[in-house]
Amino acid sequence: NSKVIQTPRYLVKGQGQKAKMRCIPEKGHPVVFWYQQNKNNEFKFLINFQNQEVLQQIDMTEKRFSAECPSNSPCSLEIQSSEAGDSALYLCASSLPQQDTQYFGPGTRLLVL
C-alpha cells in the first residue's frame, strides 16, 4: 500500500534529550507531512513541506521542533528537548502536490521517560 519509510520504529529518550526521527517519502512525492498521534488516538498536524520549503506548521513545531526535508536526503523531525507529553506515534506521510491521497509510513513510536 504505502512505500513511505520511517526510522526508527521505536525511540526511547529521557526528558530534556533530543529525539530525532526520519522519513523517506514515496519516490516522486514532493509533499511531506508530519503528524503526531497521542495515546487517545488524536492526530495533530505538525508541519508539511513541498520539496525543501515549509508550507505550514503549528506554533509548537516552530518553537520546540526542528524539521527539514533536504534534497536527496531523508526528511527529519527532531524534538530539541523532549518532554513526557511528547510520547506519541509520529507519522510521516507523502503525496503529490495536487489534491491527492496521503500515504503514511509505519510511524516512529516515541517514549519519553
Partner 1 sequence: GDQVEQSPSALSLHEGTSSALRCNFTTTTRSVQWFRQNSRGSLINLFYLASGTKENGRLKSAFDSKELYSTLHIRDAQLEDSGTYFCAAEAITGGYKVVFGSGTRLLVSP
**Residue 111 interacts with partner 1 (CB under 8 A): yes or no:** no
User: Measured from the CB of residue 77, what is the shortest distance to partner 1 in angstroms?
Assistant: 15
Tell me the three state secondary structure of residue 86.
helix
User: Measured from the CB of residue 4, what is the shortest distance to partner 1 in angstroms?
Assistant: 10
**Residue 61 interacts with partner 1 (CB under 8 A): yes or no:** no
**Residue 33 interacts with partner 1 (CB under 8 A): yes or no:** yes
From CA 59, how far away is CA 1, in angstroms rounded? 32
Helix residue ranges per DSSP H, the chain? 59-64
Q: Is the peptide bond before 8 cis (omega within 30 degrees of 0)?
A: yes
Of 19, 91, 110, 112, which lies in the binding site for partner 1, with binding defined by CB under 8 A? Answer: 91
